[in-house]
Amino acid sequence: MSCSINVKNVSYEVNEKTIFENITLNVSHEEKIAIIGSNGSGKSSFLKILAGLIKPKEGEVFLFHDKMNSLKEFKKYRSDIGYLPQDVSDFFLCPTVIEDVMFNLRAKGVKKDEAYEKALNTLTELGIEHLEERNIYDLSGGEQKIVALAGILITKPKILLLDEPTNALDEDAEKKIVEILNSIKKSMIIVSHHKSFIESLTPTIYKLDNKSLQKVN
Ligand SMILES: Nc1ncnc2c1ncn2[C@@H]1O[C@H](COP(=O)(O)OP(=O)(O)OP(=O)(O)O)[C@@H](O)[C@H]1O
């Protein structure tokens, strides 16, 4: 089957300390996988490598079978990758929720009325339409997380890299996110500590432990 992401023998170190080594992973077109692991095991760093934000020490990353030789080369796939960071506080570019969610579509040349309609639909799907006119920086951490997710989902990226998408979310919000992520047929890597959330999305779970990535089941 065709793969969206291939990782070959990737290692990462910070300040000469090895965080993980020799990670090999293939994620097929439309496959969802989850990564668990204890605090500090390197899950966020691994996602950042796949998003082209940091460089591995060694190894190779392929997106759609195209080898990424430098961080610059990730640029051509920027709009195909939806990366949700663990901390979204620096994620926003516009003051209000609706403006921010519309922003990525407007940047792609979508007309204002159409972008507004799509943004409102996305907010409604995620159950946060009441936040439309709110200032993002007045929102709670959980609300900000869902707004950030809305800004990613609206552009329909081919790959979703989601770092703890439900931390700080209440049960209802989590349920909505499960419904939406289950309805999306895209390649997805979800990092989470939340077992029931992960199990409601995918049976394919990996654990980052002792510097290596192993399949749990
Ligand atoms: N820029 C950095 N400077 C110093 N240390 C870093 C940096 N980035 C990551 N680390 C260290 O690398 C290790 C892995 O961090 P990472 O955030 O990837 O772990 P994680 O598995 O996502 O943790 P958590 O579950 O707590 O979010 C940690 O020990 C962290 O302190």
Please write the tens of the pLDDT for every residue from 93-109. 999 999 999 998 998 89
Whether residue 80 is predicted with pLDDT greater than 70 in this model: the reply is yes
Considering the domain 3-215, what is its CATH architecture?
3-Layer(aba) Sandwich (3.40)
Parallel/antiparallel/unpaired status of strands 17-28 and 159-163: unpaired
Which pLDDT band holds residue 117 (cuts at 50, 70, 90)? very high
Q: How far is the CA of 43 from the centre of ligand 1 (A)?
A: 8
Q: How far is the CA of 57 from the centre of ligand 1 (A)?
A: 15
pLDDT at 37: 95
| Strand, coil or helix: 208 | strand
- Residues 6 or more apart from 7 whose CB is under 8 A from it? 23, 24, 25, 26, 50, 59, 60, 61, 62
Please write the tens of the pLDDT for every residue from 130-155. 999 999 999 988 899 999 999 999 99
**Residue 203: HSE in the Cβ half-sphere, 13 Å Cα cutoff:** 1
Closest residue CA from atom 25 of ligand 1: 39
Q: Is the ipTM of this complex over 0.90?
A: yes
Residue 40: exposure state from Cβ atoms within 10 A (0-12, 13-18, ≥19)? exposed
CB atoms within 10 A of CB 69: 9
- Which position has the higher pLDDT, 172 or 205? 205
Look-up of token digits 């403006």: 99
